[in-house]
Amino acid sequence: VVELASWLVVLVLVVVVVVVVVVVVVAAAVVVVVVVILVLEVEIVVAAIAVVVEVVVVVVAVVVVLVVIVAVVVVVVVVVVVVVAVAVVVTVVSVVVDFAVVY
């Protein structure tokens, strides 16, 4: 159970790092768009904005997929922990009952 909990912590840390990286990338993309708007012509700005929008859509899709994967993994880990805990409790109770019946 402790090992599963440590894996869960690592998983959460990985998700946090991914989210931070995505936020930084989006912020950098916004800065690039602003600089492009200030420096270059309107046609290039429109093209750049289209590219940035496509990149943001892809990044958001990847983040959503990662979040779904993490959620599924967390649910599986929780189910496994609950099943193991129930199995341990059932085993302990049956041993105690057997012991009580024998003696």
Tens-place pLDDT, residues 48-71: 778 888 888 888 888 888 888 888
Is the pTM higher than 0.95? The answer reads: no
| pLDDT tens string 15-31 | 888 888 888 888 888 88
Cα–Cα distance, 10 to 15 (Å, whole number): 9
Task: Provide the number of structural domains found in the chain.
Answer: 1
Which of these, 77, 75, 66, lies nearest to 7 by C-alpha position? 77
Q: What mean pLDDT value characterizes the chain?
A: 81
Cα–Cα distance, 87 to 71 (Å, whole number): 24
Residue 86: count of CB within 10 angstroms of its CB: 10
Residues 6+ apart with CB under 8 A from 29: 52, 55, 56
Which residue segment(s) compose the domain that 20 sits in?
2-102
